[in-house]
Chains A and B, each alone.
Chain A
Amino acid sequence: MRTLIRSAAALAAAGLALTPAAAAAAPTPSPGAATVTKAGTSFLTATTITPGQPVRVAASTGDHLYWSFRAEAGQVHEVTATVSFGTARTGASTWTVDVFDGLRRRQACTAGAQTPTAAATAASVALGCTLRRVRPWAEPWSGDPLPGTYYLRLSVTDLPEPDLGLPVDVDLLVGAATGGGGSGDDGELAAPLVANTRAGTVLTAEPAPEAVAEDEVGLTGWLPEPGSRWVWTSAGGVLAAVAGVVGFALTRRARRP
């Protein structure tokens, strides 16, 4: 009986995990997360943050600020940023938050004010970007979002030149909502899209041919990948069996008046 209860609990948990998450609200900082007070200045020097970790950085107008975070398959990320101005400016400025994947490919925003314009008198400007759901696998030729590093770049793209160099405060927060399974995708990326940041070496000769690894035909090679589909299908089998017995019993009961 205990096993039965436990398996039922497991099934319920699996079911809960698989129900699509409610529509993502504005991201909120995780309780207890330390505020990041740094920003990188290039892809290579981007400051690593984690979703839910608030960022507060003092910067100069015109700086290109870089952060990076890790994304897993099934997550939907929402970036919100606020740029607060301290001093008077001479004209309107347009700000942008760009998102790139681990291969520095530009990622689309599905919602949010990605390139808002702040009037000369505005005290702050809010930016936002909701990313597409990260897929577990995509063809090499596609630009779909994949697990790995994501880079954020916050900068000003258009402004009167005299306003360059003026101090601003930047607040940024990345929220991750997991609506796992909702995409219904299969497959897995062999290696996440994480840039190789080691200094490279220029080869002097073509690499020697390498022995081909024999394709190992395992006994379980034909089985589908482990995952939630096994749970669902097995549960379906159990339900079908129970329903079958119930159906059988219904016909038997009719025999006894």
Chain B
Amino acid sequence: MINKRRPAAVLLGLLAATALIGPPPAAADDETAEPPAEPPKVELVLDVSGSMRARDIDGRSRIAVAQQAFNEVVDALPDGTQLGIRVLGATYRGKDKTQGCRDTQQIVPVGPVDRTQAKAAVATLRPTGFTPVGLALRSAAQDLGTGSTARRIVLITDGEDTCAPPDPCQVARELAAQGTRLVVDTLGLAPDEKVRRQLLCIAGATGGTYTAAQSADELTGRIKQLVDRARDTYTATPTVVGGSAACDDAPLLAPGVYTDREAFAEHRWYRVPVRPGQELRASVSVALDRPVNPDYGVLLRATAPDGRELVRGVDAGSGRTDVVSAGLRWSAAEEESPEPAPSGVQPARTVCLVVSNSFAPRAGTQVTPGMPVELTVDVVAASPAPDGPDLGRGWALLLLLTLAGLVTGLVAGLLTRWWVATWREN
């Protein structure tokens, strides 16, 4: 009996082995495109206005705390990160507002940092003049230049802008709307309500963060974190695209990440070619870079060129958030795909994508430029529905088969007995 079972056992062993090894694991898919040519760039913008003299952080003056933090940040600067330092209100001692509001200098140019020189430049700073935050932001953006990667500005201030116009928040919005990706992280030193509002507005408009620093350790830790973050996140820059108001003349998108702007109640159309046997995957995030009413939603629809809806992705929410996202998958149903032409070629179908939002502006909220939209498009092989399982699984199946085998054996045995008995009698 064992001899007879051996081939079966071998087969079973083989099957078990294949099942345990399973299909080969998916290949690494996070391979990014070629490395970007330029290093991460970050500029620290420090307020050196008269109010920085106040001794209210751990019993030390604000400027002393900031200087110490800068020294530590410069010491711990990761290799390859290019750092620049710009100050505002550092030199002009007079009372003339026009002149005082032009008082901003770059004391360390953006580039590979000479640590000694940078520290020396920071050490000589004395709290002096006005607070032209808007102008300093604009100049900092120029210092960082334009390029294909994201740049970061870290703004450290203790006081409200005393020089508007330009309003710093307005400047931040302008900078964010200019193609190049610029993130402004803000740090308030012992901030009051007005400063907080202003810094929150600047951070919100550019997708940055706001921190209220209340001790030297906090300030140092946070600046270090932000400089590190510049290195980790600077490569993620999508392509700028302009969606159109109808599908016919919408831009044709290849797989990848795109960014656009969409105003309140606007519809933005894009087109994606999808071949038969392929699956379209799209996702969209609309950022809330300005105050809106607390309930909102975003809708991403895929339609055929004739306007027929294929699939939709939707999300809604309420309360404070940074982005609202929705996504969808779509592949042509089997019976829907047209017969291949006699020549053996099949044209790609065009699928229209339309992004719409249901944000409501608060009174006084600016309408233009639109809110940042991030669109991800991918076209991959379709995953057809699996066939019904032809095989079974589970202990109940084993029990059933065993019982069936036993019954069959018993019946066969009884039949054989009966047959042999009949044969012998004859």
Contact = CB atoms under 8 A, between A and B. Distances in A.
Interface in A64-104: 64, 87, 94, 100-101, 103-104
Contacts of B191: 165
Interface stretch (B29-37, B120-128, B167-175): B29-37
B254 A18 contact: no
Contact of B380 (A186, A191, A248): A191
Interface string B359-388: 000000000000000101110111101110
Contact of B387 (A157, A198, A224, A246): A224
B325 A100 contact: yes
B50 interface: no
B196 A235 contact: no
Interface in B328-365: 328-331, 340-341, 344-348, 350
A217 interface: no
A251 to B, nearest CB: 3
Contact of B327 (A38, A103, A210): A103
Given A166-B212, A243-B409, A244-B412, A235 B398 contact: yes
A257 interface: no
Contact of B322 (A155, A194, A225): A155
Interface stretch (A21-29, A123-131, A170-178, A201-209): A201-209
A240 interface: yes
B406 A247 contact: yes
A121 interface: no
B211 interface: yes
A197 interface: yes
B403 interface: yes
A30 interface: no
B394 to A, nearest CB: 7
A245 B329 CA distance: 53
Contact of B320 (A6, A45, A156, A231): A156
Given A14-B20, A243-B405, A247-B412, A40 B391 contact: no
Interface stretch (B90-98, B158-166, B413-421): B413-421
Contact of A165 (B212, B251, B283): B212
B20 A244 contact: no
B88 to A, nearest CB: 21
A3 B408 CA distance: 28
A234 interface: yes
A93 B417 CA distance: 83
Interface residues of B, number: 126
A44 B237 CA distance: 9
Contacts of A251: 409-410, 413-414, 416-417
Nearest to B215: A167
Report which residue of B209, B221, B329 has the largest number of chain A beta carbons within 10 angstroms of its beta carbon: B329
B402 A41 contact: no
B273 interface: yes
Q: Is the interface of B mostly helix, strand, loop or mixed?
A: mixed
Contacts of A167: 211, 214, 218
B410 A250 contact: yes
Contact of A202 (B10, B251, B346): B251
B13 A10 contact: yes
Given A103-B283, A106-B315, A139-B385, A247 B408 contact: yes
Interface stretch (B58-66, B68-76, B136-144, B255-263): B255-263
A87 B13 contact: no
B84 to A, nearest CB: 21
Contact of B19 (A38, A188, A227): A227
A156 B321 CA distance: 8
B401 interface: yes
B6 interface: yes
B348 A236 contact: no
B281 interface: yes
B311 interface: yes
Contacts of B276: 212
A254 B421 CA distance: 13
B239 A199 contact: yes
Contacts of B146: none
A157 B320 CA distance: 5
A165 to B, nearest CB: 3
B210 A60 contact: yes
B12 A229 contact: no
Given A196-B377, A196-B378, A234-B15, A43 B391 contact: no
A247 B398 contact: no
9 contacts: A8-B9, A44-B374, A60-B212, A137-B386, A155-B322, A191-B29, A198-B32, A212-B276, A244-B412
Given A140-B329, A186-B386, A241-B5, 14 more contacts: A44-B238, A44-B257, A105-B283, A156-B320, A184-B393, A190-B382, A196-B376, A198-B257, A200-B255, A232-B393, A240-B408, A247-B408, A252-B413, A255-B417
Interface of B: 1-2, 5-6, 8-13, 15-20, 22-23, 26, 29-30, 32-33, 183, 188, 191, 193, 196, 199-200, 207, 209-212, 214, 218, 221-222, 225, 228-229, 232-233, 236-239, 241, 251-258, 273, 275-277, 279, 281-285, 311, 313, 315, 319-323, 325-331, 340-341, 344-348, 350, 374, 376-378, 380-383, 385-387, 389-394, 397-398, 400-414, 416-417
Q: What are the nearest 8 A-B pairs in CB distance? A: A200-B256, A247-B409, A251-B413, A103-B327, A240-B405, A187-B386, A7-B13, A10-B16
